[in-house]
Amino acid sequence: MNSIKNYIGGFFGSLLERIFVFFVALLLSQAPQYMNLYLNVLSGSRAEAERSVAVIKEKAAELGMSTREFIDDLVKSQSQVAKKSGEVHEAQLKRFEALKKAFEALKGASAFTRPFVFLKHVDWSLAKNVQFQPALPFTLESVLYVIVGILLGMLLFRLLAYFPRKWLGGGKPQSA
């Protein structure tokens, strides 16, 4: 009777592990798709910010000033309207630089470094605007993510299954 109980428990334990590993691998297989879609959103935001900065540079050039001089002059102005306008221009310039840096970093990242670069540079306000639809990827990058997902899923499952039992005093009975 004990052997039947162990067999059934082992079957469902391994079945649970397989299901867990499958979903972790499935989740990670979607990462390249999501990061590419995020890169498209980032590219559009960068292009829009670049256009705004170009307008600021153009207006500064009309006055014979550099962009930095133009913004500094607005910020130092006595007029509250001009001061706030300078702060807006300053924020636009900083945003453009951040978007440009993030785009170049993500675009140039390899398949192995891309998730870390993504997490370092992600702008969550842009990430929530990604129109993500799951896909069945057939790229080498996706295959690598699936393999990592399988290994990570196995490791996570074993950690989640083993350590709580050990910490709670379960597992192998202790001898006297």
- What pLDDT shows up at residue 170? 57
CA distance 74 to 82: 5
CA distance 30 to 7: 35
- What pLDDT shows up at residue 168? 65
- What pLDDT shows up at residue 79? 92
* pLDDT tens digit sequence for 43-87: 999 999 999 999 999 999 999 999 999 999 999 999 999 999 999
**Where do we find the tokens 């607005």?**
74
For the chain, what are the domain ranges? 25-158
Positive or negative torsion for Cα 38, 41, 43, 45: negative
- What pLDDT shows up at residue 176? 47
- pTM value is 0.71
CA distance 66 to 88: 17
Tokens coding 59: 């207006």
List of residues 6+ apart from 32 with CB closer than 8 A: 111, 114, 137, 139, 141, 142, 145
